[in-house]
């Protein structure tokens, strides 16, 4: 056990006990906590102080603008570089350009939104130290986990282990790199 301890993870049997445990951990002064459950637990976002993140909206707008003006630039370049006379149509046929610009704007906005969501969530991630704890896989089945990070100012390997036990955790495991 020479490895540095990253944190402790406690296993709970129901969403109620997990929510209660998270509330108590917060009341105890822990700040670097996280929760894992097979489905979203109502009220957990408030306990964990997850703030609404508006970044994805801006990323989507930027994606739309990049798509719109990028496509417009392509059309302008093509028509200047290889002008074709089509039934008296002006070289820069804005109404005709607009349809394609609009489509590519949607494509850009959607692509940026999906890619931005993945990047903000730090995905894809093939390995995380939590995966090393034997019971963590149950978080996608029927168990609920509360994680306390070692970087928390109030963290102490022995006392925090006892604290998680006192909250009713069935098992408490050490998370190692």
Partner 1 sequence: MTRDRALLIGIIGLVGCAAGLVLAPRQALIAWLVCWLGWGSIPIGALALLMLVALIPGSWRRLYAQPLVLGTTLVPLVAIAMIPLLVGVELIYPWTANGATAGYAAFKAVWLSTGFFVVRTVVYLLALTLIAWALLAASPRMRGPIAAAGVIAYALIGSLIGIDFAESTQPEFHSSIYGLLALTNQWLAGISFAILLGLWSSDGKAPLAAAGVLVTALLMWGYMHAMQYIVIWAGDIPAEARWYIERGRDDWGALAWLLYGLQGLVTFAALLSPTVRASRRAMMALAGLTLVMRVIENAWLVLPGMAGIGWPVAPLMVAASLAMLGFGWAGALALRRREETWNEPEWVGKARSV
Angstrom distance (rounded) from CA 28 to CA 159: 12
CA 162, 167, 172: angle at the middle one, nearest 5? 55
Find the part of the chain contacting partner 1 (CB under 8 A) among 35-43, 77-85, 95-103, 128-136. 95-103
Count of C-beta atoms within a 10 Å radius of residue 119: 12
Which residue, 45 or 61, has its beta carbon nearer to partner 1?
61
Count of C-beta atoms within a 10 Å radius of residue 158: 7
Which residue, 109 or 146, has its beta carbon nearer to partner 1?
109
Which residue, 32 or 107, has its beta carbon nearer to partner 1?
107
Of 99, 123, 126, 141, the one binding partner 1 (CB under 8 A) is 99
Cβ-proximal residues to 134 (8 Å cutoff; 6+ apart), any chain? 173
Find the part of the chain contacting partner 1 (CB under 8 A) among 20-28, 29-37, 68-76, 94-102. 94-102
50-89 binders of partner 1 (CB under 8 A): 54, 57, 61, 87
27-56 binders of partner 1 (CB under 8 A): 54
Which residue, 93 or 119, has its beta carbon nearer to partner 1?
93
Q: Which residues bind partner 1 (CB under 8 A)?
A: 54, 57, 61, 87, 95-96, 98-99
């Amino acid at each position: 056990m020479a490895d540095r301890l990253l944190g402790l993870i406690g296993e709970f049997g129901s969403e109620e006990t997990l929510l209660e445990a998270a509330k108590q951990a917060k009341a105890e002064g822990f700040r670097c906590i996280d929760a894992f459950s097979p489905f979203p637990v109502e009220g957990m976002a408030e306990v964990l102080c997850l703030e609404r993140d508006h970044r994805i909206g801006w990323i989507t707008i930027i994606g739309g603008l990049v798509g719109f003006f990028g496509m417009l630039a392509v059309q302008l370049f093509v028509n200047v570089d290889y002008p074709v006379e089509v039934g008296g149509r002006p070289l820069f046929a804005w109404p005709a350009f607009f349809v394609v610009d609009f489509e590519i704007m949607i494509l850009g906005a959607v692509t940026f939104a999906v890619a931005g969501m993945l990047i903000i969530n730090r995905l894809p991630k093939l390995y995380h130290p939590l995966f090393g704890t034997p019971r963590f896989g149950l978080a996608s089945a029927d168990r609920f986990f509360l994680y306390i990070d070692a970087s928390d100012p109030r963290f102490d390997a022995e006392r925090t282990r006892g604290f998680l036990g006192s909250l009713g955790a069935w098992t408490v495991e050490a998370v190692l790199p």
